[in-house]
Amino acid sequence: MQYQKHQLFMEKPAYFFILLTMLSLSTTTICSFFNKATDQEALIAFKSFIISGPPEILTKNWSSNASICSWMGVSCSLNHQRITALNFSGFRFKGTISPAIGNLTFLTSLDLSYNNFTGFIPKELSLSRLELIDLSFNSLTGEIPSFGNNLKLRILNLSNNSLGGNIPYGIFNLSSIEEVRLRANNLQGGLPKDMCNGISRLSRLYLSWNSLSGQIPFDIYKCSELVDLSLSVNHFSGSLPSSIGRLNKLQTLYVGANNFQEIHDNASICREVRTWRAKLVELSIDVLSLR
């Protein structure tokens, strides 16, 4: 017994040493690929895809001899000077979004809203640390990428662009997603029956002003955190599922300007939802305001 104990005691540090060596080797390998320099390279590539913008930003502030962390709109981590956030909202940039943005492995927040970006959303935006993507109010086209690797994404705002195709199924698999705004695009197709199986934290879903069709899935009640649901100005059909009444946190529901059957006027839909939700207090169902 005594001997065995001793042997174990001697062996453990050796294992730890080997483990530590292996860990540090792999960290070194990762660090030597994505580091401060690759961040700089990626941001310079991003800049090269901007065809016009205010010279006081693009040529003066974003000077090539200043640290990228001092560039307007860029936030870096204190320790390692890695880019953690980009906020170029309202910078009046025109151009396309460089796929090099996918090399910013420490990025948690990307706000490019209110610019004039055209072209596709790069699929490289699938970054495991990203929590917020706001590309709203641009002129982006093509399909929405599936964002398969965005395991921490909480907020996705792609409103007021010209995005087409279906809503990618992968969006309904982003387990951390809380708010999805896809309002005012050219989206087609329907909502999958199992849309709420993997997104239990979803509280705001804005799909208005698209060309979405088909029925609202009965299982929508499984998105139990929903507070705002906006479906207006689409081609949704069928009847609104009675299961909507089980959404106890729902406060606003916009359904106007669709092809819903059985509900012809404001009064009848309100009556219906009141029946579903006995203790209805604050829910407002707007069939005329098309938000």
Least distance (Å) between residue 31 CB and ligand NAG: 13
- How, if at all, do strands 50-52 and 94-96 pair? antiparallel
Task: List residues bridging with 102 in a β-sheet.
Answer: none
Interface with ligand NAG (CB under 6 A), residue from 46, 117, 137, 254: 137
Please state, in angstroms and rounded to a whole number, the distance separating the CA atoms of residues 142 and 20: 46
**Which of 84, 103, 203, 234 lies at the binding interface for ligand NAG (CB under 6 A)?**
103
E strand map for 168-271: 179-181, 204-206, 213-214, 228-230, 235-238, 252-254, 259-260
Answer for the pair 41, 103: CB distance below 8 angstroms, yes or no.
Answer: yes
Backbone angles phi, psi at 143, to 5 degrees: -95, 160
Kindly tell me which of 2 and 44 has the beta carbon lying closer to ligand NAG.
44
Q: How far apart are CA 263 and CA 237, in angstroms?
A: 10
Q: Which of 40, 75, 116, 176 binds ligand NAG (CB under 6 A)?
A: 116
Compute the distance between CA of residue 181 and CA of residue 40 in angstroms, rounded to an integer: 30
Q: Binding to ligand NAG by residue 155, rule CB under 6 A?
A: yes
Residue with tokens 């401060």: 36
Considering only 38, 141, 166, 251, the residue that binds ligand NAG (CB under 6 A) is 38
- Residues that contact ligand NAG, how many (by CB under 6 A): 42
| Interaction pattern, residues 253-272, with ligand NAG; x per rule: CB under 6 A | -------------x---x--
> How far apart are CB 62 and ligand NAG at their closest, in Å?
8
Among 35, 41, 145, 214, binds ligand NAG (CB under 6 A): 41
The residues, any chain, with a CB within 8 Å of residue 8's CB and separated by 6 or more, are: none
CB count within 10 Å of CB 181 equals 20
The residues near 207 (Cβ < 8 Å, ≥ 6 apart) are 167, 182, 183, 187, 230, 231, 234
Residue 251 CB, shortest distance to ligand NAG, in Å, is: 13
Place of tokens 């960290």: 27
Query: Structure tokens of 6?
Result: 């001793």
When binding is defined by CB under 6 A, the residue of 83, 97, 100, 205 that contacts ligand NAG is 100
Is the sign of the CA dihedral 127, 129, 131, 133 positive or negative?
negative
Single out the residue of 35, 40, 49, 61 in contact with ligand NAG (rule: CB under 6 A).
Answer: 61
With CB under 6 A as the contact rule, the residue among 84, 113, 161, 258 that binds ligand NAG is 113
Q: How far apart are CA 192 and CA 258, in angstroms?
A: 18
Residues 165-224 close enough to bind ligand NAG by CB under 6 A:
169-170, 173, 179, 181, 184, 198, 204, 209
Q: How far apart are alpha carbons 195 and 275 in whole angstroms?
A: 25
Please say which residue, 61 or 251, places its beta carbon nearer to ligand NAG: 61
Nearest to ligand NAG of 234, 247 (CB atom): 234
Closest distance between ligand NAG and the C-beta of residue 155, in Å? 5
Positions touching ligand NAG (CB under 6 A) are 38, 41, 45, 60-61, 63-66, 70, 72, 87, 89, 99-100, 102-103, 109, 111, 113, 116, 124, 132, 134, 136-137, 148, 155, 157, 160, 169-170, 173, 179, 181, 184, 198, 204, 209, 266, 270, 288
